[in-house]
Amino acid sequence: MKRLLWLLLAMFVSPEFLVAVILYSLYFFLPSVLNVLGHHLKGDKEVWKYLPILPGALAAYTFNMSAKIRAPSKEELNQVLYGWPLYQLVVDRVYVGIFYSVVCFILSLLLWMLGESLGDSIIALFFLEATVVSGVSALTMHEAAQKLIEILVKHSTLK
């Protein structure tokens, strides 16, 4: 039960969730901006050919970074990480990042399939959510992988 609470906390108190809520609020507070962007996206046929590529590439990068977070370095540093009492929280946060990336990729596929049958503001909202949130997730995982190596080297007794 405690782990589920930590997972929910990681999901709702995250940069990805914050960006998703900010973008979703644009739909209510600045719909004209989304209408303009959606109209432009709807009119450009080249966008529809390549729409899911960026969220898909970012999801693949997130998966790659998740492996580097769970096994960041040589065996000795990995043992230090695996022995850390809060290692499970790191793993759970990795799962949350993967979840957001996969959801964004699925959202881009839905947008690609449903495409022009949606309204302009919905197209823009889905496009922004899929690309920006997956970008934030990939950036968060990248930074976590970099920082984890720094921390392990700094606090390792193997110096």
More confidently predicted of 114 and 159:
114
* Domain boundaries along the sequence of the chain: 2-155
pLDDT at 58: 96
pTM score of the predicted model: 0.89
Contact 126, 118 (CB under 8 A): yes
pLDDT tens for each residue of 87-124: 999 999 999 999 999 999 999 999 998 877 888 899 99
Is the model's pLDDT at 15 over the cut of 80? yes
pLDDT tens for each residue of 83-95: 888 899 999 999 9
DSSP assignment string, 67-92: HHHHS-SSHHHHHHHHTSTTHHHHHH
pLDDT at 153: 83
